[in-house]
Every structure is written in structure tokens, then in C-alpha cells.
Structure 1
Amino acid sequence: MARDNYIFDLSDKVNRTPVSYRTRYGIEISADLYRPADFDDTKRYPALIVGAPYGGVKEQGPGIYANELAQAGYAVLTFDPAYNGYSEGKPHHLSSPDLFVEDFMAGVDFLGTRSFVDRARIGAIGICGSGSFALSAAQIDPRIKAVATVSMYDISRYHKNGFADSMSADDRAGFLAFVAEQRYADFLGAAPGMSDRGSPLEWDAEANPIGAEFGEFYSRPRGYHPNSITQFTITSAPSWMNFALLDNLSWLNGRPVLIVMGEEAHSRYFSEDVFGAAQEPKELYVVPGAGHVDLYDKTDVIPFDKLRSFFGEALA
């Protein structure tokens, strides 16, 4: 089948339908709905929402997950975050904790009002940054019955403290002063200032191994999509710094959590710390030899059997 900018080929066992839904902010979200090829719309199916990595879009990793899990009998929704991809919102490439968490909850609104979805059996999967968004949504939305995170990044913690919590108080103050001045420039300018690419176009793998890992996916044919520029408006950052995503994990109230991470992932401390803070039932699943980005698209590495068994039990 033609890829149409999807980074994978759709299985002949799966049907994909473009759909859209509106958030409580009135933003129309561009989404895809994946269903088994033998789908029977007179039945009611369990459903999953799959969120993209921070900077990613639905045609990348989320579609790969949906393509696999729809074959296991799920209706699976993937989406472009508000203000990104083909979703509405201007200026484009803005990011916000409240908006990105709302994308998941509005996805539940959409799925839970489909006649073929059992609204008592809706789960969520968050890849990379969406892991923290999915968990944050579930903290306050009990309609999300189970959550799996994969290669999770806590985006609010990352912005507030830097990678590996390395940002000093002076560095933080300097950055906030820079962003404050950028707001004047954005107000007077024709377009907002943009952050550097999270995935460089060229890199020195020895000097910047994390940049190389992201670049080899987003900036090469392996994972390239024109809507996934891995940049956001500079003035988006303070919102993440000011509003924590994962302070209320106890509010999950016994809903199960599966945390999947690569053994060699540079991001594993995010997963380990959230696993330590979460209450039972919870499970930390380590994929031997895998890095962070390996779990975006490598179907021979992503533990789909584990995801199927987790949601099969959690959404029974």
C-alpha cells in the first residue's frame, strides 16, 4: 500500500480511517482510527489511545503500535497533538501541558461515544513524552482504565530541571529571562521564535549520542515526517516548568500501570522514578539491549506480546 507519509506499511488485517474530534478548547484534532479488518460494528470492542513522542506525529510510532494492536481486537485511536501535525491551533508547534493532556481526555470522549466501543474498557499508551501525558490524564480521568508508557519522558521535569536534573538555579533563571525577552519579540514579530531541533540534521555521535539517536530517527528516512520537525515555540517551555505532570499518581486508585523501557535507554531514570512513585498494581518491563528510540518503531524489539497481555487483563 502507498505510505502517504506513514513510516510503515498498513497490515492487510487492519483498516485505518481518518477521523477528527474536538477538545474542550475547541481545537480540532486530526486522528486515525485503526480497527481489525474483520471488524463488526454491531459489537463493542475494547479501545486504546496511543500518543506520539514529544515532537512526533500519528504517522510515526503511534501508527506502528495501532497497526499491531488492532490485529489483537482493539479499536485504536492515534492523533496529532493540538497545535501540531494536521491538528488545528495557531501558532503551530506550540506545546502546553494542559493542552497535551486534554488531547488524551478528548480522545476518550470520542471513543466512548462510538457505538462499537465499550467505554468501560478504554486504555492509553504513551510513547516518550506522551507517557507522561497519558499518566497525567489518567490521574484526573477515571475513564482511562489502564496506562502503558514506553520510553517515557516526564516533559515537565525535563524542562524544569534539564536532562538528568542537571540544570542549575542560575541556568534556570537565565533561561527564564531569555524567554521573557522572547515574548516581546514574538509579540512584535510575524512568527514566534522556535527552539532548536530536538533531532539534529547532522551530528557528532560521540559528542552528542542522544542527539544522534533522535536524529537517526526523525531526520532520516527511517522516521522522517514533514510535520515532525521536533521544534516548539520557545515561549512554550515555561508552562512545562511551572506545572508538574505527575504529582498525583496516587489518584489512579488501583488502575494498573505498565512501564516499558529499554535496558540501554538514556531516559530510563524517568521510568524508574515514576515506577517508584506509582502505587500497585504496577509493573516495570525492561527490554533487553534496547535504547530509547528503538521502542518507537522496531517491531522486532517492541514488546507487543507484553502490551497485549497487559491490556488483555487490565481491560477484561
Structure 2
Amino acid sequence: MKTEKLNLTSDWDKVFTQSDKVHHKKVTFINRYGITLAADLYVPKNAEGTPLPALAVSGPFGAIKEQSSGLYAQTMAEKGYLTIAFDPSFTGESGGTPRNVASPDINTEDFQAAVDFLVTQDNIDSEKIGIIGICGWGGMAINAAAIDTRIKATVTSTMYDMTRVNANGYFDSEDSEAQRFEKRQALNKQRTVDYNNSEYQLAGGVPDPLPDDAPDFVKDYHDYYKTQRGYHARSLNSNGGWNVTTSLSFLNMPLLQYSDEIRSAVLLIHGEQAHSTYFSEDAYKKLKGDNKSLMIIPDAVHTDLYDKTDIIPFETIDAFFKKYLS
């Protein structure tokens, strides 16, 4: 396997404070498509000599490991897990070209590649591996759990099914053949434009300034990605966004197709007031077995579960992993 040379920062440039309870370092690993991924590794201090349970974390969709996923990973490391928060392919400090593109297949593979990395670490118990997917990477995590039997437990937080929202629109308001055909026409026209221009047009990140008629959930995104709370120079949502044509592959590939065949444990967490709650509610209805659960956080909106540590149920997440990674 040939590793790409990545430009990894040595500075602590996260949007959250560094913990004095864990060791931190940068690591890299390669996915099945030959893309080198960058990750932050967090290891609890004073854990030498004991094989640890391990967790891989990623998301939200359009974010990087210096934002929400890193906060989750560091917090879970404080609770005794070896964790990695990774940048998905084509984003952040990870490799892959072109940049700023997502794929339901490749990004599911990113989670599996993270598991590849974890199972080879001397200080972890390879039978105790879990994953956490936030926002759009919640759907990727469920898809990874459906295909990778090494994953013993999965948590999703404020989950988006990116294939459903691209194909059907928000709240399934565009769920018709005619509307999907219009999307395909526009996106394939954009392919021609991009090819002629020898570059990929960006869709734009979270709008700034906000339009007067912006929905409340867009205002919530702005409050995270465009303010000191969560802004980061490498974050797609904080800046230019995804390639316009990223949506194409999500139109034809339902991520949760085989989620009803997941035998391992799954915990879905969502905010009661989130615009996106229906994704987790419907995903939960499809899951089978007595090791599946849905937790709704009262009064929480979608982005509250990105970084509000007084709202994110870390104790519940810890108890879930302790139970199913035992």
C-alpha cells in the first residue's frame, strides 16, 4: 500500500479545549481505495498495559476532525477508550482528489478503514471496537455496521440519511420521479460545465450573511460553522462547501438498504426539536433486535449535539459501549 504524503499540522487547532487526561497524536491510515486518511488519536493516560476498547468517530457532514468528531473522541478517551477522529476522504487533512467530494461508498469504507487501523493496534482489544457517526456520518456509520462484522456497537448522533435527503429533499417534499429527474438533469449539466472548466464548482458552505428568510435550522448551522463556536479554516461548511456534483451518487444509492440485517448493537441519539429527527426515528423503525435503541433529547436542536457537552448524553453513550463492548 502506497501512502500519500499529507500535510499535517502539529499545532492544536481544534475548536475545543485540549484535555489533560489523554494523550494525543496525529496518525494516518489507508482505505481500500488507496486514499490516505488523517486522524487524531486519543489515548487515556495511565492506561498502559491494559487492552482498551476502541472507537472511530467521524462527522458531521462537511465538518472536520478539529470540530465535533474530535470533541466526541477526546471525551470518550477520557472515559477509558482509545479513540480516533478522522477526516473523511477528500476533506480536511486527509488525502484524495478531487477535493470537497463525498461518496456513500467511499465514506462508508472510510469507517471500515478506521477499523482496519484500530484492530492492528497493540494496546486495544480487537473484539471491542465501536464507531460513532455524527450528522451525515451517522448514515455512513449505520451502513458500515451493516457490512463490517468487526464493529460490535454503533452510536449515531443527530443522524442524517444523506441518500434520502438528496433523493427526496427535506421532509421527503421532493419524493417523485419527476423531481429527481430535474436534479439529475441539473447535476449532469454541471458535470459538463466542470469538465470544460477543468475544475469543480463548489456549492457554497453555510450562507453568510444569512438571508432574512433562512430556516431556523440554517440559522443553527450558521451559529456553529460561521462563528467562533465552531468555525475552522479547513471545514467545508465553514467555507466553500462541497462540490455541486457531490449529490449525484447519493441519488441512486440508499445507505440504509440493509440496516435491518445489523446484528450488533445500535444507539441512535437525536434532539426533540431538530429538523432532522425523522431520520433517526425512521431508521430505528427498520432496525431489528433487542440491542437497538433510540434516545430523544428533550428540547435539543440538530446542532446542540455537535458540541454542547451539557446536552450530549456522554454518560449514556459510555454505558452503551460498556455494555456491548464487554
TM-score of the two chains, using structure 1 as the length reference: 0.96
Residue number among 12, 27, 39 corresponding to 2:20 in the alignment: 12
Please list the CA deviations of residues 74-101 of structure 1 after superposition, one character each: whole Å capped at 9, or x if unmatched.
0001100100001101110011111110
CA RMSD of aligned residues (A): 1.4
Letter in 2 for 1:267: S
Unaligned runs of 5+ in 1: none
Match of 1:177 in 2: 185
Residues 167-316 of structure 1: matches in 2 within 5 Å? 167=174, 168-197=176-205, 199-204=206-211, 207-230=214-237, 231-253=241-263, 255-280=264-289, 281-316=291-326
Whether 2:117 is the aligned partner of 1:107: answer no
Distance in 2 of aligned mates of 1:20 and 1:299: 28
Give 1:5 deviation, angstroms: 2.5
Q: Which amino acid aligns with 1:307?
A: I
| 3-state SS in 2 of match to 1:119 | strand
Q: CA deviation at 1:224?
A: 0.5
**Cα deviations by residue, 1:285-316 (Å, 9 ceiling, x for unpaired):** 11111110000001111000100100010101
Partners of 1:244 and 1:97 in 2: CA distance: 9
State the distance in 1 between where 2:266 and 2:144 align: 13
Aligned to 2:168: 161
Q: CA deviation at 1:3?
A: 7.2
2: CA distance, partners of 1:207 / 1:114: 46
Q: How do 1:115-126 residues align onto structure 2 when only pairs under 5 Å count?
A: 115-126=122-133
CA separation in 1, counterparts of 2:80 and 2:72? 13
Which residue in 1 is equivalent to 2:78? 71
1:207 positional shift: 3.8
**2:7 equivalent in structure 1:** none
CA contact (8 A) 1:8 1:64 kept: yes
Q: Separation in 2 of the partners of 1:64 and 1:205?
A: 32
Contact 2:54–2:83, Cα closer than 8 Å, also in 1: yes
Identify if the C-alpha distance between structure 1 residues 134 and 251 changes in structure 2 by more than 3 Å, giving closer, same or farther.
Answer: same
- The 5-angstrom pairing of residues 81-96 of structure 1 reads 81-96=88-103
Counterpart AA for 1:16: H
Residue aligned with 2:33, SS: coil
Shift of 1:190: 2.9
| Structure 1 residue 153 displacement after superposition | 0.2
Deviation for aligned residue 1:4: 3.3
Q: Which range moved further: 30-39 or 170-179?
A: 170-179
Distance 1:151 1:210 in 2: 13
Q: Does 1:26 align with 2:34?
A: yes
Equivalent residue of 1:177, what SS?
helix
**Secondary structure, counterpart of 1:200 in structure 2:** coil
> Structure 2 residue aligned with 1:58, among 65, 68, 75?
65
Q: Give the percent of matched residue pairs that are identical in Structure 1 and Structure 2.
A: 40
Q: Aligned pairs, how many? A: 312
Q: Deviations over 1:4-47 (max 9, x none)?
A: 3201011110111100000011100010110112231x321100
Aligned to 1:80: 87
Find 2:155's aligned residue among 148, 152, 161.
Answer: 148
Matched letter for residue 147 of structure 2 = I
Quote the Cα distance in structure 2 between the aligned partners of 1:188 and 1:10.
45
Q: Is the 8 A contact 2:217 2:302 kept in 1?
A: no
State the SS of the aligned residue for 1:98: helix
- Distance in 2 of aligned mates of 1:134 and 1:251: 14
Q: Once structures 1 and 2 are overlaid, which stretch shifts more, 300-309 or 205-214? A: 205-214
SS at match of 1:188: helix
Structure 1 window deviating more from structure 2 (129-138 vs 230-239): it is 230-239
CA distance in 2 between partners of 1:4 and 1:186 (Å): 36
Q: CA deviation at 1:204?
A: 4.2
